[in-house]
Each structure stands twice: as structure tokens, then as C-alpha cells.
Amino acid sequence: MSIFVDETTKVVYQGLTGSQGRFYGLRNRDYGTQVVAGTNPKKAGTDVDGIPIYASVTEAKEATGATASCVFIPAPGVRAAVLEAAEAGLELVVVITEGVPAHDEAYFFNKVKRDFPRTRILGPNCPGIISPGKANIGITAGEIAHPGGPVGIVSRSGTLTYQALYELKLQGIGVTTCVGIGGDPVPGTSFIDCLEAFQADPETKAVMLIGEIGGTGEEEAAEFIATKMDKPVSAYIAGVTAPPGKKMGHAGAIVSGGKGTAQAKMDALAAAGVRVGQNPTEAGQHMVDLVKELGLT
């Protein structure tokens, strides 16, 4: 199985008529994803390479049965775009856009959680989600992902997500779903959300977690792994050499007041029984070893 998206997921691209939305929307369609619509109130009634454009997400859903959205709207418009998708009743809203104001993220995260609890937000500032061989929503290159399981991946870092996928592919190891949760201060989907889903998925036998400095998400994940999971986990935490008080990469990747350091996260995960790599390649090798030990190759 896969988590959150599969071959039945129908996606509307908010921003399909823009250059980036078009590029990735068509790539996702070529991968096999059901990209069924785009939205742009000024271009309703037109199409992008045969994909119909509607004035609103509600109209797109009514016409196509869309269940998910991918947001390629510029940062100032993301708040309205996310709420539009949630109000239309979509199950998943994948926000690729970076640079979304933190107060906008906090607002739509809390409003959706309160008023539209059936809608899951992924991102912002994330690479999206791919269930290899089934659906790819976002900017991950489908060519680097090997289908068929047994590994699930959850990551805050887009670039390291790609490395993890490719290293597993080189070893012939498939992935059920790879989720990029993004590195902003208010992620719509957390490590624990994904770990819980992977724990419940019978085809995911092991999980790879990729974190980074800043926040407490990895420590919270470690506690969840220790108390709620029986599937093995390997991990890598980026930012071991990051100086305190400086943001490194993502808006949420900042160490302050002695909290959020890479070493603290690594220690917490190791204490939970996670095999923690000192670099991405070592973390990948840990997963290869786990798969072999489980007899899944």
C-alpha cells in the first residue's frame, strides 16, 4: 500500500497556468498521476495541454472529482489558495511554494484543523509526495524512486529526500511512499503524522526519517518511535556543524537557546532505538542493512 496518495488520487493544480505549475503538473501527469484540472479565474474555460482550467477549486472538484490539490501559487496568495481548497472539501493540499509568511501558515493551519478537519495540508515549502509507480504530486523526480516498498520515507529536507530515494534505488530497494513535510516553522503535516500512517500501513516494513536542526519535531518523533512503533527506523539529521543562532536553509532550521541542535536530535533518536547515520549515505546504508536483516530483498 501507500500513504496519503495512490493511483486513484485525482489532483487539481492551483497555478497550472504559470510556468512552474505547468512544468511540474505535466511532468506529474506524464508520470501517471491523475492531474485532472487546473484553476485560474482569469483563464477559466481554457486548457493546459488538454487539462481543463476552472475558475475555482469547487468547480474543478464538481467537474472532475478531484480529491487533492497541488499549490504553485506565489507566496502572497497561498493563504487564500489553501483555504479555497479546504473549503472545497479536498482531502489533501500539497503546498510547494516557499517564502510563505509564518503568520499566514499559522492562520491557515489552525483554521483548517478547526473548520476542515478532513483536509490534510502538506508543506508549505516542501517537495511534495510520491508513491512510486502510483502518484507523484510536487517536484520530486519520479525517475529516482523505485516502486514496490518496503520502505517509507519522511523528510524535512527536499534535497536529502532525493538522495535517500536514489540511494535506495541503487540498491534495488523500493519505497511505498516518500513524504516531504517541508522545513517551515508551521508544517501542515508532522513527522508523527507520517510515522503513524507508516506504522498502520501493512506494506511499509521500515521507515527512513530525515531531519534537520531547529524545532522539536525530531525529538517528538523519537518519543513516538519508542512508544508507538514496532517497525525499524533509520535516520539522518542535517546541521551538525551549524552555528547557534543562525538559520540554515529552511525557515524552521534555526538553533536557539540550546534547543534544536542536531546532536540532541540524534541522541534522542538513538535512545529510541533508531539507527542514526552520521551522513546521508550512512543512513541509507543503515536502511539497506535493515531491509536485508528483515529478509525483504
Would you name the residues annotated as active-site residues?
250
3-state secondary structure the chain: CCCCCCCCCEEEEECCCCHHHHHHHHHHHHHCCEEEEEECCCCCCCEECCEEEECCHHHHHHHHCCCEEEECCCHHHHHHHHHHHHHCCCCEEEECCCCCCHHHHHHHHHHHHHHCCCCEEECCCCCEEEECCCEEEECCCHHHCCCCCEEEEEECCHHHHHHHHHHHHHCCCEEEEEEECCCCCCCCCCHHHHHHHHHHCCCCCEEEEEEECCCCHHHHHHHHHHHHCCCCEEEEEECCCCCCCCECCCCCCECECCECCHHHHHHHHHHCCCEEECCHHHHHHHHHHHHHHCCCC
Q: Which of 75, 77, 76, 3 is nearest to 40 (CA)?
A: 77
Tell me which residue has cell 513535510.
181
d(C-alpha 53, C-alpha 16), whole Å: 8
Joined grid coordinates for residue 58:
469547487
